[in-house]
Amino acid sequence: MSTIQITLPEPLQRFVQHQVAELGLDQPDQYIEQLLEEERRRKRDEYYYQKCLEGIASGPAIPVTSGFWDAVADEVEQELYGIRSKIAQ
């Protein structure tokens, strides 16, 4: 694990210390780590939400049946076969 040193103004230092005590944490770095992890999750969720919206806006829905997934699997296998053939040459 790496170390990052940050300097905070006194009001923020007090706030962090208060949060550490309120949350029952041992060290301020645990609080900062929690904040960063929450932000990472929020950004991940936002990314997937946007991808879902793009998918919805991409066109009309299609029925997804077992036949659909069989066709997708066949297409992937054909593409992999083509890639392997090129590599083998």
Q: Does residue 4 sit within a domain?
A: no
Q: Which two tokens stand for residue 87?
A: 């590599």
Q: Which two tokens stand for residue 35?
A: 């904040």
> Higher pLDDT residue, 89 or 54?
54
Q: Does residue 3 sit within a domain?
A: no
Q: What is the pTM of this model?
A: 0.62
> Higher pLDDT residue, 19 or 1?
19
pLDDT band at 85 (very low <50, low <70, confident <90, very high): confident
The residue type at 55: G
pLDDT at 66: 87
Q: Does residue 1 sit within a domain?
A: no
Q: Which two tokens stand for residue 27?
A: 């060290």
Residue 71 pLDDT > 90, yes or no?
yes
Q: Does residue 35 sit within a domain?
A: yes
Q: Is 65 helix (H, G, I), strand (E, B) or coil?
A: coil
> Higher pLDDT residue, 86 or 19?
19
Q: Does residue 30 sit within a domain?
A: yes
Q: Does residue 34 sit within a domain?
A: yes
Instruction: Show the 3-state SS of 10-53.
Output: HHHHHHHHHHHHHHCCCCHHHHHHHHHHHHHHHHHHHHHHHHHH
Q: How many independent structural domains does the chain possess? A: 1
